[in-house]
Amino acid sequence: MATTGVGTTLIPDSTTLSGLRAEVRAFLDEAIATGRFVPGVDTWLGGYDPQLTAALAERGWLGMTIPVEYGGHGRTFMERFVVTEELLAAGAPVSAHWIADRQAAPSLLQYGTEAQKQRYLPRITRGELFWAIGMSEPDSGSDLASVRTRGERVEGGWRITGTKVWTSGAHHAHAFFALVRTAPLDPEHRHAGLSRFIVELDSPGVEIRPILSMDGSHHFNEVHLDDVFVADDLVVGAIGDGWAQVTSELSYERSGPERFLSTYRLLAALTERGLGGAETGAYVARLTALHHMSTAVAGGLQQHADVSSAAAVVKVLGTALEGDIADLADRLTEDDPGDGELQDLVRRAVYHRPGFTLRGGTNEVLLGVIARELGLR
Ligand SMILES: Cc1cc2nc3c(=O)[nH]c(=O)nc-3n(C[C@H](O)[C@H](O)[C@H](O)COP(=O)(O)OP(=O)(O)OC[C@H]3O[C@@H](n4cnc5c(N)ncnc54)[C@H](O)[C@@H]3O)c2cc1C
């Protein structure tokens, strides 16, 4: 089966970009044809395949924007965008490295010490080091300033105690940035007193407990930190600077093409089977517009521009589209479920649908961000 890449005719790729796109697509077509992976839905979060990650690393498609002096490839955000779009369009299982490559690496580059960059970035590029996100807690999601995980100063470092939740892929990851309260909450300055630490997940006192999803799959976890010692050299940036760091990291988390391509394989499966007619066509049109908007965001990252509100717009519209594709496919296959491949894609899309508009910041919260940017409140 040929992958239906998003850039076939619509993207004004430069020659370099279209050459790269063709190269990635050929690799993925071959991987699918030889049964190396089965294209899926939402595989950037739940599709763990360290061998595929290693194969992508070998071709130079991880750590693309990491500078050469830190073991990376020193390429552009646009080049990375093209590669990630093709991986998503192919429904490839890329969750092993996704968070490390997408947000841990840029965050380390921006805030990490020289030693931290040297220690982690080459291994991220080689596809050997996986990362998770240690932000949410049982009573803190949208309102991250209310996190209760606390850090206490001790000789040579910090002792961290608390619980993180919904930690995607923590059971495979080597480390995460933990957002931690290091000074008591001041109601007047709620964003002050927060810090970030690199917690290596095999440290004594770390316990990772699985949370199973509705379909029985395991990608979520609860991560308990019980008096975990983190040495001073794993503090990220300055103590008390956690809020600025976390909002910057969220820009990388929210801005990518995974915010509109999670159910791309399902839309492709509908078009390949001629299902849905004009209705499916309307969804392809929405997807095309999002592709152009997301390309513009990648261009902004390239210029080191603040893309947070543009990324929020893409994420709100894109995640709504992802869910609408799941609903459309569910409806179209109600009376005739179709072949096994289609059934599997529909089933996974329907199960994963609730998460699309929640993860990385809910759409309601992002609408607030957009409204503030427009001066509406
Ligand atoms: C698939 C998936 C993967 C995830 N992976 C991770 C991960 O790896 N690491 C991690 O740290 N977290 C992860 N999360 C958690 C995610 O970031 C939170 O679920 C999200 O930020 C919302 O927080 P909450 O669940 O506590 O909901 P709440 O913040 O309690 O929100 C509940 C409801 O209230 C609404 N609401 C809240 N505040 C406002 C407001 N100011 N204005 C309007 N409406 C509001 C929300 O939109 C929502 O509908 C993941 C979540 C999902 C679904």
Residues recognised as catalytic: 253
Give 96-152 pLDDT, tens digit per residue. 999 999 999 999 999 999 999 999 999 999 999 999 999 999 999 999 999 999 999
Last residue of a domain, one of 180, 210, 241: 241
CATH at 22: 1.10.540.10
Q: How far apart are CA 375 and CA 160, in angstroms?
A: 39
20 lies in the same domain as 103: yes
Distance 143 CA to ligand 1 centre (A): 9
Q: Return the best residue to mutate from 142, 147, 322 for the ligand 1 pocket (most ligand atoms within 8 A of CB).
A: 142
Count of domains forming the chain: 3
Give 160-188 pLDDT, tens digit per residue. 999 999 999 999 999 999 999 999 999 99
Last residue of a domain, one of 108, 129, 150: 129
How much is the pLDDT for 10? Answer: 39
CA 366, distance to chain mean position in Å, is: 16
189 lies in the same domain as 230: yes
Last residue of a domain, one of 99, 129, 159: 129
Distance 359 CA to ligand 1 centre (A): 6
Distance 357 CA to ligand 1 centre (A): 9
54 lies in the same domain as 75: yes
Supply the pTM of this predicted model: 0.94
96 lies in the same domain as 167: no
Is the predicted pLDDT of residue 71 greater than 90, yes or no? Answer: yes
* 139 occurs within a structural domain: yes
Atom of ligand 1 nearest to the CA of 164: 11
